[in-house]
Amino acid sequence: MADPDFKQEIEKNKLILLYILEKIKDPVSGLSFSKLVLERRIMNYFIMQHCISELLEVGFIRDLQHEGSLSYQIAEEGAKFLSFFYSRIPEGMRTSIRNSLVEMQNGIARDSSIRTDFRRHEDGGWVVQCGAYEGGCPLLEIRVLAGSREESGEICRNFKQQINRVYPEIMAILLQSPPKEEENGKSQTARREKP
């Protein structure tokens, strides 16, 4: 039978991990997440991995693959759970985490300002999600269906490399006034009349 003190410590550590992810808000790379937890000696590596595994299993956090790089994000269910048991995290620990996050926030924000993700769609193909964010606020988010994993990877790479061109072009198109019906009708007729 498991030691009740150990089980209680694991539960507290899971709440701490949820608290960190909730404070970060955006997906955070596995490397940045581990660095924060381990460098601040919040818990050891094995306990952290055990807690992450259990949190993933119950759907309290999500793991995202960004072109082979792992990121974590708190799920809605995890945020709800945390709201009920928030007070079980000692105030000193919450303060320490908030202070640590202030130090690391700029680096994490830089790492996650342009994010891409793709995963297999249940009906076939691959769903590709790309986004550009500033201060956690979305500037542009798109989701498209790609035919293969290779196309998904190419879309992600091109989005990251071309975002400075893609964003202004999409905004220019979206901010244009739509053509008047007469002009649209004439241009459609003119195109059909040409052999």
102-148 tens-digit pLDDT: 776 655 555 457 888 898 888 889 999 998 876 667 888 999 999 99
Task: Specify which residues 82 forms β-bridges with.
Answer: none
Query: What is residue 79's predicted lDDT score, i.e. its pLDDT?
Result: 93
Query: What is residue 181's predicted lDDT score, i.e. its pLDDT?
Result: 66
Query: What is residue 66's predicted lDDT score, i.e. its pLDDT?
Result: 58
- For residue range 132-144, list pLDDT tens digits in order: 876 667 888 999 9
Which stretches in the chain have pLDDT values below 70? 1-2, 66-69, 104-112, 134-136, 181-195
Query: What is residue 19's predicted lDDT score, i.e. its pLDDT?
Result: 93
User: Chain-centre distance of CA 29, in angstroms?
Assistant: 9
**CATH fold group of domain 4-111:** Arc Repressor Mutant, subunit A (1.10.10)
Q: Who's near 21: CB < 8 A, 6+ residues apart?
A: 28, 33, 61, 72, 73, 74, 78
Q: Model pTM greater than 0.85?
A: no
Q: Where would I find the beta strands (DSSP E) of 114-188?
A: 114-120, 126-134, 137-146
